[in-house]
Amino acid sequence: MPSRNSINKPKDNILRNRKAGTLGKKRAAIRAKGVNSSSRSSMKPSGSSSALALYRQKPSSGSSILTNQTLSAKRLQKIERNKKYVAARNGKTKNGLVSNNNNNNNNNHEMDIDNDDELLRASKAIKTKQSTTSAVREALWKLVEDVANGRQFLTVPTSAEGTTLGGPSF
């Protein structure tokens, strides 16, 4: 068989098959080791989230354990948001009771999520944005009307010498 760098190089299929075969053997060995092993520690570790573990952990006030694992604010918000979605999907409210809205026969598949605080904040932000834009709009229209009536706001002296930079102009 010619070498990899040979002129008579075979098609890539041979190399691909060899590589795929070795990877398949490795996967099979990992699965077999996990199934036939006598101890749990020799199994392949399952996907566990340290962020969820930190979120669910209830630190006691008397413990003085130091750790370098922290939960970021962004990850905390994501976990809480996902909890709301799961509760809504399961038909539960904040109290853990099944909501009556999901049991109606009208086949309305809307999620009932309590986010009144978010709605209030969003509506306040929209109102303040609208009020500032309306104030700017009114001021600009007043300026346009005053200019149309003949008032001049920016009087430019025509007899001045020099430039705004202070040097003489020729």
Q: What global pTM score does this model have?
A: 0.27
Q: How far apart are CA 3 and CA 105, in angstroms?
A: 72
Q: What is the pLDDT of residue 36?
A: 59
Of residues 32 and 1, the one with the higher pLDDT is 32
What share of the chain has pLDDT > 70, as a percent?
51
Q: How far apart are CA 93 and CA 100, in angstroms?
A: 10
Ramachandran assignment for 31, one of left (phi > 0), alpha (psi -120 to 50 degrees), beta (any other): alpha
Cα–Cα–Cα angle for 49, 51, 55, rounded to 5 degrees: 120
Q: How far apart are CA 63 and CA 57, in angstroms?
A: 13
Where exactly are the structural domains of the chain? 12-41, 116-149
**pLDDT band for position 89 (cuts 50, 70, 90):** confident
Q: How far apart are CA 23 and CA 29, in angstroms?
A: 10
Read off the pLDDT of each residue in 122-145 and give the average, rounded to a whole number. Answer: 81
Distances in Å between the Cα of 111 and the Cα atoms of 108, 114, 121, 143, 162 are 9, 10, 20, 49, 70
Does the pLDDT value for residue 23 go beyond 90? yes
Does the pLDDT value for residue 107 go beyond 60? no
Residue corresponding to tokens 């699965």: 31
User: Model confidence over 32-73: pLDDT tens digits?
Assistant: 776 555 555 555 555 667 777 777 775 555 555 666 777 888
**pLDDT band for position 106 (cuts 50, 70, 90):** very low
